[in-house]
Structure 1
């Protein structure tokens, strides 16, 4: 991630020194191409896959597809205003890289500026990885073409997953055990007492990352700060309660928590088949394996409801009907 950002920054600086800086587009849009490929430019309605780093003036990264581990698929919409990001993207072709600067006042004109945002500009470092022009294709043929491409991409991600898991385990020197279902785990701190059982509730602390090290969730404040999770100041940090064995969470958690007893800590490396599968979830793409550091703080057993003893009722006497 840092190498990618460094490359983007150096490339932008290098080109600026050659051509005198950014060119001006509509409504104050500023852009600077540092890779200019031949080929058709992007148009409204086209399908693109883009890698994107969004920053403010102070170079603070607000969003990055490199950290998410996959480029962003996009059907190019109509611009929301003259000189917005999509007007900038239309200047690019497949393989192009550019930096696009937009006035923060223009972007936040119809919505309040986030209180944490600082600076006059929002800066986008864009790399167009794939372009499928709509052109004169019918909607049906265009959708089929996009679907075929995405299916191929999904298959490639699926096939690459085992190697990613193997590399992560080796790089982090994890002495893991693999279950029959494909879950990898290592107990990093032994607990005490019996292991948790299906029907119990696990009280846990956890931090989750993709295998490139990008943290996407944690209920531990120190980890959330280190992982640069958003809105840390507004979050409350406390152990969460998870029902075990009831399919209320991903299968990797359901299975992994059953290996722990109170006080135990573990690392789970969870293949996508036991996580979010081929569809993914939010920033977690399809066929994305995950890693979790988990601590089982406590076990809450279900309350047993006392049953009253059954009292046998006397047989009902048959009453003859009057004739």
Structure 2
């Protein structure tokens, strides 16, 4: 189920929080909703889920407002807060209550507990959970209805690196099933390895959206330098790579930025065919710099509101 948000506006106490925000998230894709703290991300997601009434605009899940969905728990699973639990209840009991309230079969609780790898802690009181364990618990709650769309607000909070990698694999697998994943974040590191598309918000409006590298730049790859750029280009294209010339070569040397093959593959191909390489260096796009430029208060990205 795709998500569509059109012309969303919201004012709190005379302060414009959302300013005609328009964006979308598609089936089969992980979409990152990116912005600095206070940019309007959580308010947008709460409007999408019918928890906040917008002043103008509309939010649709597969063409319908959330309130008009026939089976909301099977359509959308959401993780918006880590505090939506009773600290004295066990994680399993928390999920059982949610399943009962949504008319879901009891066996779904055991399934999602195993799915988020929380089985060892499921029968302990939630007050003893670490931040990462609570994050897994609330992800389990979002998955209870086996929803077609996942909406997650800062889902990597509290997760250690193995946990963040586990979540990345899980969300990418979810999208690979043809489902829609929309996640918000103000941190690019892990998100940039997870999402297919991005919508960047600043000052309550979208300042950029599209494929991750389309929006954030596509300067990652392997930088090579040679005195035979045409010959090297042909060799690498035969290996399935793409290349483009970049500035920086001197004294008859030329530089290429190569995508699609590993540095060691480039080195072996050049050596085998007698092509001299004077530089071979992996480079990575500076996504953080692009993100900061887009969301700079008072710049092209607009100001930061709460």
The TM-score normalised by the length of structure 2 is: 0.24
Larger gyration radius, structure 1 or structure 2 = 1
Which protein is richer in helix relative to its size? 2
Larger RCO, structures 1/2 (Cα 8 Å, 6+ apart): 2
TM-score computed with the length of structure 1 as normaliser: 0.23
